[in-house]
């Protein structure tokens, strides 16, 4: 992971993202790119008669805020021992991050705050929206996560889908040297058996184990979270939106649940 993209904004969780990205850049001798995005469309409004209005003063204030943020970030990182740069974009946040992730190995974002706490500037489904549009895997950090413990176990949520397989491949650099457990709730129901995944990992000197569990009275997502907490997992690797994005948004699902309620860092890929 030599190129690490970081979502940079004025949210309180930005410092946590920076610290995790710095740790990863040092670990993999990588480079950080901090992206500040200002969605121009939020400054355009339309009236019922087809007229268009551009909030020039609000845009100027937002651009001034971005310049101030860039200055603060540059000062914050001036004495760090990992290379970095800061980029600016004027498109929507997901689109800007997805574009910048074209030549990145990892994108680092934050999960939203708990529903009963302050949400700051976090977008509720930023990690999920980015995971289905970006070429790079997405590392989504729960609020207050300022480090990524690479010694703790990693749990791979396995259902035999192509999304799960993609996430597993993308996570390889973060799986070496730690206990890795593939957890399947009710067994594989996809095209790719867990034995193939275990064989693939073993060829990368990662000797994982498979654990198949019954759902019991829980939903699949609740059971996965319980397994991750029970093993003390410091990372969950999972495919994003194995079912349709719309279906999960309306009815819920594993991705939706862990993106909005998760307490463990997620490595997502679609």
Q: What is the pLDDT of residues 221-259, one digit of tens each?
A: 899 999 999 999 999 999 987 544 443 443 347 778 888
- Token duo for residue 167: 């996430």
- Looking at the DSSP bridge assignments, the partners of residue 18 are none
Give tens-digit pLDDT for 139-185.
999 999 999 999 999 999 999 999 999 999 999 999 999 999 999 99
Quote the pLDDT of residue 45: 66
CA distance linking residue 9 with residue 13, whole number of Å: 9
Range with the poorest average pLDDT among 57-71, 73-87, 109-123, 244-258: 244-258
Q: What percentage of the chain's residues is helix, strand, coil (to nearest 5)? A: 40, 20, 40
Q: Which CATH number fits domain 3-141: 3.30.310.50, 3.40.50.620, 3.40.1710.10, 2.40.50.100?
A: 3.40.50.620
- The pTM of the full predicted model, rounded to 2 decimals, is 0.88
Quote the pLDDT of residue 266: 96
Start-end of CATH 3.40.50.620 domains in the chain: 3-141, 154-269
**CATH class of the structural domain 154-269:** alpha beta
Q: In whole numbers, what is the pLDDT of the chain averaged over residues?
A: 87
Quote the pLDDT of residue 77: 97
* DSSP E strand boundaries for the chain: 3-7, 31-37, 44-46, 52-54, 84-89, 106-110, 138-141, 154-157, 180-185, 209-213, 235-239, 266-269
Q: Contact at 8 Å (CB) between 239 and 270?
A: yes
Helix axes 194-202, 162-170, angle to 10 degrees: 20
Quote the pLDDT of residue 119: 39
């Amino acid at each position: 992971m030599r190129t690490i993209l970081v979502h940079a904004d004025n949210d309180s969780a930005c410092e946590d993202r920076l610290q995790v990205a710095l740790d990863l850049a040092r670990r993999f001798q990588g480079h950080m790119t901090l992206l500040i995005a200002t969605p121009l469309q939020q400054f355009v409004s339309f009236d019922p008669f087809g007229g268009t209005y551009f909030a020039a003063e609000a845009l100027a204030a937002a651009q001034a805020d971005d310049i101030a943020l860039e200055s603060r970030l540059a000062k914050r990182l001036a004495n760090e021992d990992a290379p970095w740069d800061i980029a600016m974009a004027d498109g929507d946040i997901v689109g800007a991050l997805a574009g910048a992730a074209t030549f990145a190995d990892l994108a680092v974002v934050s999960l939203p705050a708990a529903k009963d706490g302050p949400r700051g500037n976090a977008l509720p489904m930023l990690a999920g929206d980015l995971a289905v549009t970006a070429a790079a895997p997405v590392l989504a950090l729960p609020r207050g996560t300022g480090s990524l413990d690479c010694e703790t176990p990693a749990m791979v949520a396995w259902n035999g889908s192509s999304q799960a397989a993609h996430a597993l491949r993308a996570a390889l650099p973060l799986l070496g040297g730690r206990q890795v457990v593939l957890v399947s709730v009710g067994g594989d129901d996809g095209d790719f058996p867990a034995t193939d995944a275990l064989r693939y990992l073993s060829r990368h000197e990662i000797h994982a184990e498979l654990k198949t569990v019954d759902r019991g009275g829980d939903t699949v997502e609740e059971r996965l979270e319980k397994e991750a907490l029970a093993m003390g997992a410091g990372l969950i690797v999972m495919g994003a939106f194995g079912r349709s994005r719309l279906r999960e948004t309306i009815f819920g699902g594993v991705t939706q649940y862990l993106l909005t309620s998760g307490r463990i860092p997620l490595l997502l890929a679609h």
